[in-house]
Each structure stands twice: as structure tokens, then as C-alpha cells.
Structure 1
Amino acid sequence: MATDTTKEKGEGSGVPFYDDLENLKKLCDFLRSKNGPPVREALLMEKRVHYLKGEKLVNFMFEPKKGVKWPKKLPKFESRQDAIAVCKELCKHQFLLRSEKRGKGDLGVSRVREFDEAGYFTWLYEGDKTVSHVMTTLLIVGFLFCVCFPIWPAFLRLFVWYMSVTFLLFTFGLITLRGFAFLFIWMIGFEFWFLPNLFDESLGFVDSFSPVYSFESTKPGQLPYRIGVAVAFFSFCWWAITQPSEFDGFVAAQGDFLKDLYAGTLLSDMSQSDKENIDKPKVQSLEDLLKSLEDDMENENFRKEVDEEEKLESLLDNLVGTEENVEEEEE
């Protein structure tokens, strides 16, 4: 490879640093990180991929943008020719694939495989798969663990129930406090949100907790609405305070509610024996089987008696009808 960018792998070796495949992988790890060159998303053979233009990749490798810290373990490129030569090596080892733009967000495989600054290139290098494999294994094990919930030990199921109820109460309390804090501060002319991106589905888990709060002035023209909401809210509070009530009874009722919620008896109509035997297979006892057999025999005898009575009634009806016909003929 024609490049001047070198780094000794041993004493006096003089081997170009990026001739080593492992060193190329280290370079790709940096280029594919969040500090690497910006990429776009598209579909290549019905698969979502990241791609960029060759010129932008070379510019980033030769002259990184301000604020980008180039790894110390990777030597910098002294010329554009050095960066282009390494890009050719990336294509040679199929870390990059040259592509053609067919339309917006749609790519196709190019017949030309060599690197060219004017072409578009799709990243095929995905880095070390160890973390991905571990996460996939944990996902499968966790799914099987959840599916086997009916055979969990009783103490573990109880722990999961308590944890779920606590998380539910915490979430409900957090939403309520956020709402009241926003209402009070909005009435005085400001919009305040604690964890404003908490319920933004377009963000990741970490980004949902950033920033911690937002504080802005309300938009002009909201003064009449703020006054109306303030009058209605404080009027309701005054009405609630002046009404006769027993605060101790209210506190006791809330305590009973929480106890029933944690005990799982809030809306339950099952007996304690049914709860304890909920995981046991339903097998009839010998007494139940004998009783069901007797009931079946009684039902069969009853049906036979009914059938005999119906036959007798039909015979009597036929006999009466025959006598009436004879009398009519004699007359």
C-alpha cells in the first residue's frame, strides 16, 4: 500500500500501521463511533444500512472537525493520498461497499468496487459482536424466565408483585407531581417541566432523562386562560376545605387501599384456597367422579321415563281419535 503513514509494530519493523488487519478494525471502530463522520440511513436490498460519500470520509480522515479527538493509538494521516489509500484497503477487505443511489433512501450495489471520492459507500463493518451476542442471550433467557412465571417460587412471585406495585405507585406519583408543579408555575406565567422528555417515544432510555428540567416563559396571549384556571382551581380547593370531612378516616381509607393493593385483594373474588392451588392441575376426586356418574344415571333414567310418558300420551291420543272417527261413521 502506497502510504507514508507508518507506526512501528516492533523495533525497526517499519511496516505501515494500516497494513495490519487488526489496526484497520481499530480505525473502523473509531469511524463507526459517535465521534466518526456523519452517516445517513437508507435501504440496501431491503436492509437498513448507513452510508456516506467517499469525499466526506476522506476529508474526515485527513482533517477531522474541531472538537473531534483523534485516538492516540491511531496515527494521523499526513496527506489525502494516505487517507484514500486506506479507504481502498477498507473496500478491499469489504468493510465498505460501494453503492449507487436509486432514489431517496434507496441504494443499490454498484458494479464498480474500487474506492472513489465521488461515490457512495455503505458500511458493512459492524464491529465486535460479543456484546450483541451477550445481550441476545440475556434477552432469550429473560423471555424464558418470564414465561415460566407460574412455576416460580412463591417468595419470588411475591417479590415481583411488590416491585411492580411499587413501581406503579411511583410512576403515578411522579406524573401527579409533574402535573401540579406545571399547573402552579404556569398560573404565574412560566412553563416548568421536570424531566420534560420522559414520555418522548422517539428518544432512547438515557436521552429521556435529559435535561432534568425546562423553564420557559409562557407564550403571549395566555393571561386570560391562566387567570380563569387559577380562579377555578382555588375555588375548588376552598370548597373542598370548607366541606365537612374526617381527615383521620380518609388517611385510614388510603392505608387500607395500599394494604389491599399490595396483598392483591383489591379486586379479587377468589378464595385463599383457590389462590394457593392456582398452579395445581384440576383433577377430579373419586367422590366427584362417582357423584357425576350417579347424576348421569339419574338423568338417563329421567329421560327414559319422559320418553315412555310421551309414548303413552301419543297412544291415548291415537286411540281417542280412532273412537271419534268410528262414532262419526255410525251417525
Structure 2
Amino acid sequence: MAPAAKEFYEDQKNLNKLCNFLRSTDGPAVREAIMMDKRVYYIKGEKLVNFMVEPKKGTKWPKELPRFSSRPEAITVCKELCNIQYIHRSEKVAKGELEVARVRDFDESAYFTWIYEGDMTNKNLMTTALIIGFLCCTCFPIWPNFLKVFVWYMSVSLLIFIFFLVTLRAVVFLFVWIIGYEMWFLPNLFDESLGFCESFVPVISCEKTKDGQLMYRVGVFVAFSSFCYWAVTQPSEFDGFVKGQGDFIKDLYAGTLLSDISQKDKENIDKPKMPSLEDLLKKLDSEDEEEKELSEEEAAEALLNSLVEDSEDIDDEEE
């Protein structure tokens, strides 16, 4: 290793920078396994050295880190990573399961588990934000009224935006599909297998429709044209529909959709519905009264039956 590079990687801070790069998404591919009931990431020593000497195509090596010119240079750094316990040698005991090896020296043919987790600042900040967000959500009933109104307006605005976005995507797809192409705006927007940023890539996708869809496109065009003609020729109904939608949005923002509910119920809409002691006592009294009424009815019915039987006995004696 060149003297300048050797001195560079002798500093642990610089080694941390190298490990941050190796542990990032631009680093070498790693595998998952279980070791001591914990999920870990491991890599073969040969692949680690190969990546450090000759990174995969398209990898952007950090400018502040010197490149390795030979395999012995990379092996020297890997041995140092073992010495400071950033990685440790492991052995496979089963499929997807590792254990710590007794031999600690670096060897290209062995497997090595990452102990270095990288910069924990972002992870700690995200954990703190998650805890604060959870506490804020659970304490929503005691929020000030202006914050509740703000959250309500934000939620309604987001809901309306998503609705119009989905509708716009569908309408644009319909128009272009009738022409003979399939065009989607943000095609991966609802793909749950992708990350947040990847869901917005690409912005637009456009492909020619498959053969055999001409009759379907003509049928959809005729149906859509008929609907548009009906909407134009029925201005009073269509205007009423537009006005109704506008009133609905206004009521949604104003929170007056539940106008038939009392003000007390509106204020307590987020509170659990627990019966009071007075309600429970009234319920018990009503049940006792019902049982009493039933017992009286049963007694009257029994008396009536006995009278009927007595009258039948008298008739039999007279005969």
C-alpha cells in the first residue's frame, strides 16, 4: 500500500468512513442469517476483497477515500477490521444460521459477519421521531382545539388530493388508451414492494396497446361520448351535481356532515362510550319490571286455566 494510503487507513475515523461506504447500498452485496438469535449480515472474504480492489460497474467510490491498487492492500485493511472487531469470522452451522468461529484471522475463503452498524445518528433520530409521533397520536384528545382543526384540514386536503390524483390518472389513461397507447402518470405510485422515492420513478410510462383491443376501444369511446352528450344536454341536473359536490367539500372542511348529531355527541365523538352507574341501575330496574310483568301474566294464565278446568269438571258431573 502506498505510504499516504497506509497512513490514511491507520486512522480509525477514516476506517469508519470506509465501513460506512461498504455498509451502504453502494457497497458489496451481503446476505442475511441468524446468529445467537439475532439477524446479522455476512459476506465472504473473497467478495469483500474483490469489491475493494475492483468495485462493481456503476459504483461511485467516495472521492475522500483512496482506492486500493492490489489485493494485498485490501487484505491488510480487512485484517485491521478484524482486529478492531468491525467484522468477525463466522461458520455456517445450518441453512441461514451462523456461529462465531474460533479462528479470528482474515481469510478470503471464510465468511465474515458485520458488527459495525455504521453511523447511528439517522437511526436514532428516526427512532426518536417515531416515539414522539406515537405519543402525540395517543394524546390527541387533549390537543388544543386549533391543532385538531389543523390536523382535520390537512387530512381532508390530503384525501381530496389523492382522490383527484387517482381520477386524473384514470382519465388520462382512458383518453390515451382510446387512441391506441397505454400511458400512466406515476405508474409505480401504488406498488407496495418499492420504496418511497422509487414509487415516483418513472414519472410517465407510455407503451403501445396490445393487438385485438380495437373493438374495446371503440366501445369505450362510444360509451364515453354518449355520457358527455347526456351531461351537456342535461345542464340542470349536471349543475346540481356540481353544486352538490361543492357543498359536500365545504361541509367536509367545516365538519358539518354530522349536523343531525347533537353538539354533545360531536364533542364526545372520540371518547369511549361507557354506560354510567345510573344507566346500569335503570337497566336492572327495567329488567325486574319485565320479570314481574311476566310473572303476573303467568299467574293470570294459570288462574284462567284452572277456572276452565273447573268448569269442564262441573259439566261432566251434570251429565
Question: Which residue of 168, 173, 191 corresponds with 2:164?
Answer: 173
Secondary structure of 2:156's aligned partner: helix
Which stretch has the larger CA shift, 139-148 or 93-102?
A: 93-102
Of 23, 47, 63, which residue of structure 1 is paired with 2:54?
63
Which residue number in structure 2 is paired with residue 189 of structure 1?
Answer: 180
Letter in 1 for 2:263: Q
Change (3 A) 1:220 1:41: farther
Contact (CA 8 Å) 1:5, 1:17: kept in 2 or not? no
Which residues of structure 1 form unaligned runs of 5+?
A: 9-14, 326-331
Task: Give the total of aligned pairs.
Answer: 318
- 1:117 counterpart (102, 108, 115): 108
Partner of 2:3: 6
Which structure: larger Rg? 1
Question: Residues 1-331 of structure 1 correspond to what in structure 2 (within 5 A)?
Answer: 4-7=1-4, 16-101=7-92, 105-243=96-234, 245-267=236-258, 269-276=260-267
Contact 2:231 2:238 in 1 (8 A): no
CA distance in 2, matches of 1:47, 1:256: 56
- CA drift of 1:87 comes to 0.5
CA distance in 2, matches of 1:241, 1:196: 32
Greater CA drift, 46-55 or 195-204: 46-55
Aligned equivalents of 1:246, 1:309: Cα separation in 2: 59
Alpha-carbon distance change, 58 to 219 in structure 1, aligned in 2, over 3 angstroms:
same
Amino acid aligned to 2:41: H
**Percent identical:** 64
Q: What SS does the aligned partner of 2:112 have? A: strand
Deviations 1:42-86 (A, max 9, x none): 444444333222112112222334543433333333321121111
**CA deviation map 1:159-213 (0-9, x unaligned):** 1111111110110110001011111101111111101110010111111111111
Q: Which blocks of at least 5 consecutive residues in structure 2 are unaligned?
A: 314-319
TM-score norm. by structure 1 comes to 0.77
Q: Distance in 1 between matches of 2:243 and 2:199?
A: 37
SS in 1 for 2:16: helix
Shift of 1:129: 1.3
Match of 2:236, SS state, is coil
